[in-house]
Structure 1
Amino acid sequence: MRIGVFLVAAGFPGRQPGEVLRDTVDAVVAAEEAGFDDAWIAEHHFMSYGVCPSAATLAGVALGRTARIRVGTAVSVLSTRHPVDLAEQAAILDQVSGGRFSLGVGRGGPWVDLEVFGTGLARFERGFRESLDLLCEALSRDTLSASGEFFDFRQVPMVPAARLRPVVACTSPATVRIAAERGLPMLLGMHVGDREKAAMLRDYGALVAGPLSPPGHVAAAVGYVADTTEQAVREMRKAMPRWLEPGLAGYVPVDGRARPVRDIGEYVDFLCGTHPVGSPDLCVTRIERTAEVTGLRHLILMVEGAGDRARTLENIRRLGAEVLPRLSGRARRVRRARGGTASG
């Protein structure tokens, strides 16, 4: 199994965005030291739920502070970006980091971002396929041209060129179909449980063109360890609503449509009851249960649930020391990542 960290750059009350961004980079460094395989940074605009408006930029900073760990975006919002511009940034990070950069992209939502950046609802509602196809071409070819509804330009060289395959955030059957038709791996969110993830993977397998091969899907989950499960759940129930209540309210629709509302207490209980939140034993059990139920072999753990820098770094270190080495097939890899030797 591959296990990474998922960093939302969560804007908990009382924390300044610059402080959160610096702490996010420090968390990537801590994840490398703890033996995690990768770190993925989220992107949000104009809200406290996540205070990083450019995941690619912050990934670049984190890559410069690390030597081994892969760093990716989870995700760069494609509906508000020019795909070629994003491909150029990804190529820079890929080349300079020695191939340690991973690009995750998503459709985003019908939020005010579309108004601010001028792409509009059309790019969100019907432009994602064209944007994704152009991005994939830009990440796989030395020259590029376009002739479509949203992008139309003469042939240009891609400098620097890259050979990257993006991961696609999937939260709906329509996006699962888009990813499957292109053979692109999915990124599945922490807002759904194992059975829902398994169903999406089955749907993908039924849709994918040609022989099915392991595409490298990734799934997000909350990861939080404490001495006991009761302590971990108590800390999450105390901290997470302070972030989620104002954070989720920051999703402002661009066109006056009703904004989805979720019961925060029920959502926190779902996260704590579904994901590896608890004692080291429980965290191991739930990660391995997810792998068994879904077939997934790559999980990324949202580790910032306490909203406190020191506790987040402690959480990363404890997960690395008390959980990762106990997962099937990971003990040797964790020792190697930390510079130790493998035996047996």
Structure 2
Amino acid sequence: MRFSYALLPDYPLDESLAAIRVADELGFHACYAADETWHKDLWQLFAVAAGQTSRIRFGPSVSPVTLREPSLIAQSLATLDELSGGRAEGVLSSGNFGLLAQYGMDWRRTRPLSRVKEALHAVRALLDDGVVTFDGEFYTYDGLFTFARPVQRRVPVMLGAMRGPKSFEAAGALADGCHHALSYTREAYDYAVRHIRAGAERAGKDWRTLDIGAWVVFATGPDSATAKEAARSMVGIYASSMPAEQLRRNGVDPAELQPVIDAIAAGDLARGIELTSPEVADRLSVSGTPAECVAKIREEIAPAGVNHMICAITDRGLVKAFTGRDLDGVADVATQLRLVHDEIMPAFG
């Protein structure tokens, strides 16, 4: 089981860089960040971080092909790969539906999966060959070339998926893996991996060679209640982007969460947190003491075939930046990274 750090680059940049250096020193597989307008630019951050680290990998999880043209994603990945000495990888998706709405886009009209498949084809061609010719429904290229060339023979490119089943099957068949965001139950991961495997096998691939990642809201520390309260502050914000089918696979009735979603959509984050029950927060996060986090990963996530934990670490600074709440006693990012390294990673070999 690999462990990675999912960074929301909303801290002062020197703090983000310091956290990335800690993750590198501790041997985390990768540092990912969301390629979204809401946050600071990950590409510039990772370009600087590449020069301050030696092992950790970098890339977007996810980069939205509705907002960032696929050829530019490929160009950025290849450039980051050269800067980092062959440590770049990426995850593509159609994009955060809430963000798309702020651009006046209705995701239901974007044909998201078809668009992502075309984008993956273009990114793969430019990374592998430096040139692409393609006449698709969404993207057209006539001999488009780039001098941005990666160091790696093959830069890993995964798909991000939440709803399924076709998105999971596409990831298994066409990509180097799937990062499944915001799921926490054995039922949810059995469903995802079953379809990833089906897609891989149809394409003649061994599904066990794929990067099957669990992108989770994460908070840990010596005090269970404090860590869980930190997670509760963020769960509603993330859960508001979860499709109803996915909520049900995670043991949450969408109607139960609707008041939370409505409050957050109206900009009342404080009310959204108030309405997020501790029970729902516990279901929709990996949080608590390191031992509690180990138990949840071992019982609910790992048995399905997940081989990569991607921890979106929630600390005091992130909670305050997003919600205005100041939670005393929540372990900072560096402390949580060390706890993952010292007390969680060893449980999974």
TM-based fold match above 0.5: yes
Of 269-278 and 311-320, more deviation after overlay is shown by 269-278
Whether 2:45 is the aligned partner of 1:58: answer yes
Is the 8 Å Cα contact of residues 37 and 69 (structure 1) preserved in structure 2?
A: yes
Structure 1 residue corresponding to 2:139, chosen from 135, 151, 159: 151
Structure 2 residue corresponding to 1:179, chosen from 171, 189, 199: 171
Whether 2:123 is the aligned partner of 1:135: answer yes
User: 2 CA distance for matches of 1:248 and 1:292?
Assistant: 25
* Counterparts of residues 1-344 of structure 1 (less than 5 Å): 1-9=1-9, 17=10, 19-45=11-37, 47=38, 51-52=39-40, 54-111=41-98, 113=100, 116=103, 122=110, 124=112, 126-162=114-150, 163-173=154-164, 174-208=166-200, 209-214=203-208, 215-237=210-232, 239-240=233-234, 244=237, 261=258, 263=260, 264=272, 265-266=275-276, 269-273=279-283, 275-307=285-317, 311-324=332-345, 326-329=346-349
Gaps of 5+ in 2: 242-256, 261-271, 321-330
Partner of 1:254: none
Q: Deviations over 1:121-179 (max 9, x none)?
A: 54747522222211121122133222223333321433133332311101122322322
How big is the shift at 1:108? Answer: 0.9
Q: Deviations over 1:2-39 (max 9, x none)?
A: 11111123xxxxxxx5x444433322122123332221
For residue 293 of structure 1, what is the amino acid of its counterpart? P
Higher relative contact order (CA 8 A, sep 6+): 1
For residue 137 of structure 1, what is the amino acid of its counterpart? A
Of 136-145 and 308-317, more deviation after overlay is shown by 308-317
Query: Secondary structure of the equivalent of 1:139?
Result: helix
Gaps of 5+ in 1: 10-16, 250-259, 330-344
Is the 8 Å Cα contact of residues 136 and 165 (structure 1) preserved in structure 2?
A: no
For residue 279 of structure 1, what is the amino acid of its counterpart? T
Q: Deviations over 1:234-253 (max 9, x none)?
A: 4444x437x939x969xxxx
Q: Deviations over 1:46-72 (max 9, x none)?
A: x4xxx23x4333322322221111122
Q: Deviations over 1:173-227 (max 9, x none)?
A: 2322322331431001124533202211101212322143421211112332222
Q: CA RMSD in A?
A: 3.2
User: 2 CA distance for matches of 1:196 and 1:231?
Assistant: 27
Is the 8 Å Cα contact of residues 179 and 211 (structure 2) preserved in structure 1?
A: no
Q: 1:81 to 1:69 in 2, by over 3 A?
A: same
User: 2 CA distance for matches of 1:22 and 1:315?
Assistant: 18
Task: Provide the aligned length of Structure 1 versus Structure 2.
Answer: 302
Structure with more of its chain in helix, by fraction: 2
Q: 1:276 to 1:115 in 2, by over 3 A?
A: closer
Is the 8 Å Cα contact of residues 5 and 40 (structure 1) preserved in structure 2?
A: yes
User: 1 CA distance for matches of 2:134 and 2:155?
Assistant: 19
Query: Secondary structure of the equivalent of 1:99?
Result: coil
For residue 294 of structure 1, what is the amino acid of its counterpart? A
For residue 95 of structure 2, what is the amino acid of its counterpart? G
Q: 1:6 to 1:77 in 2, by over 3 A?
A: same
User: 2 CA distance for matches of 1:131 and 1:8?
Assistant: 24
Q: 1:211 to 1:22 in 2, by over 3 A?
A: same
TM normalised by structure 2 equals 0.75
Q: Percent identity?
A: 21
TM normalised by structure 1 equals 0.75
